[in-house]
Amino acid sequence: MPHLNEILKRNNVKIIGKGDKTLILAHGFGCDQNMWRFIIPALENHFTLVLFDYVGSGNSDISQYNKKRYSTLDGYAKDVLEVCGALELTNVAFIGHSVSGTIGALAAIEQPELFDQLVMVCPSPCFLNFYPGYFGGFEQQDLHELLSLMDKNYIGWANYLAPLVMGSSHPDEFIAELSGSFCSTDPLIAKNFAEATFLSDYRSTLKHIKQPSLVLQSEHDALAPASVGEFVVNEIPNATLKVISAHGHCIHMTHPEIVGRSIIDFMS
């Protein structure tokens, strides 16, 4: 394993708050740890919070990027486990937005003794439709077109995806922030992460999760339909579903009070 300081620099790790219980907050595709800022005030009085950026996102050390390692979500899960190991964390609760719900699941299955609880915010183990039994939200052709748009017109891709993800009913500055976050990521790194996120199928891993899990689902989510949240909860042996009356995929930004309160209630 890399040295402690290397890992903390690589993933731009920040520790805030004061509490016996540690929460590790993991951002979604194209985002960074800054996206958690709206729920931090609700959580930092109760918990110690570990924030980080995946390699290639935010203020991570981009020189540590390895295309092969990060061509699957397992590489990102390895980062999570290395951060936990470097900080000597135990009894961690993992809070993952979107694809990080799956990344957290992979980490928790790999080292179940590390994690007490999982919270998945708008998760999706598979974004593809498999008829008749599973509706992930996208046809394979649509996703391939979306990915090829990244090559042809990266700014156009970011400007198309941001309102879809955020939900167009939310303030323009949220959509602009998300689009800017997409654009600040190296396009080759973003493409690699996008393929690992949108073309993968981790549905079969959910049944191996041992930890009590909370799934927070947005009622109207263009990226992860309500049926996906139900599927996730039905597959995990010990899981609870909470549907939040909201539009969009980033409820930790648009509905931070409800998300923060739901996490606190679940932890207690």
Strand partners, 25: 51, 95
Encoding tokens for residue 242? 């909470």
CB crowding 168-180: b at 16 or more within 10 Å, else e: eebeeebbebbbe
Contact 84, 15 (CB under 8 A): no
| Rounded CA separation 212/190 (Å) | 31
Contacts of 180 (CB under 8 A, 6+ apart): none
Any catalytic annotation for residue 221?
yes
Any catalytic annotation for residue 249?
yes
Catalytic one of 53, 57, 60, 98: 98
HSE (side-chain half, CA atoms, 13 Å) at 8 = 9
* Tokens 């599973």 belong to residue: 134
Amino acid at 22: T
Encoding tokens for residue 136? 């992930």
Contact 238, 213 (CB under 8 A): yes
Q: Residue 5 CB: number of other CB atoms within 10 A? A: 9
Catalytic one of 249, 252, 255, 262: 249
Catalytic one of 53, 97, 221, 262: 221
Question: Which of the residues are catalytic?
Answer: 98, 221, 249
